Chains A and B, each alone.
Chain A
Amino acid sequence: DVKVTQSSRYLVKRTGEKVFLECVQDMDHENMFWYRQDPGLGLRLIYFSYDVKMKEKGDIPEGYSVSREKKERFSLILESASTNQTSMYLCASSFRTSGRATGQETQYFGPGTRLLVL
Chain B
Amino acid sequence: AQKITQTQPGMFVQEKEAVTLDCTYDTSDQSYGLFWYKQPSSGEMIFLIYQGSYDEQNATEGRYSLNFQKARKSANLVISASQLGDSAMYFCAMREALTGGFKTIFGAGTRLFVKA
A residues sitting closer than 8 Å to B (CB atoms) are 9, 31, 33, 35, 40-43, 45, 48, 50, 56, 58, 88, 90, 92, 94, 96-103, 105-112, 114
Contacts and interface: CB of A to CB of B under 8 A. Distances in A.
Given A42-B106, A43-B91, A114 B32 contact: no
Interface in B10-52: 31-33, 35, 37, 42-47, 50, 52
Given A90-B45, A103-B33, A107-B47, 14 more contacts: A31-B102, A40-B108, A42-B91, A50-B100, A96-B101, A100-B31, A101-B52, A106-B35, A107-B35, A109-B45, A109-B46, A110-B44, A111-B44, A112-B43
Contacts, number: 80
A40 B109 CA distance: 8
B31 A99 contact: yes
B73 interface: no
Interface of B: 4, 31-33, 35, 37, 42-47, 50, 52-54, 91, 93, 95, 97, 100-104, 106-109
Given A40-B108, A43-B106, A103 B52 contact: yes
Contact of B95 (A35, A99, A101): A101
Contacts of B54: 100-101
B97 A99 contact: yes
A103 B97 contact: no
Interface of A is mostly: loop
24 contacts: A33-B104, A35-B106, A42-B107, A42-B109, A43-B91, A43-B93, A50-B100, A58-B103, A92-B45, A98-B97, A98-B100, A98-B101, A101-B32, A101-B53, A103-B50, A103-B52, A106-B35, A107-B47, A107-B104, A109-B37, A109-B44, A109-B46, A110-B44, A114-B43
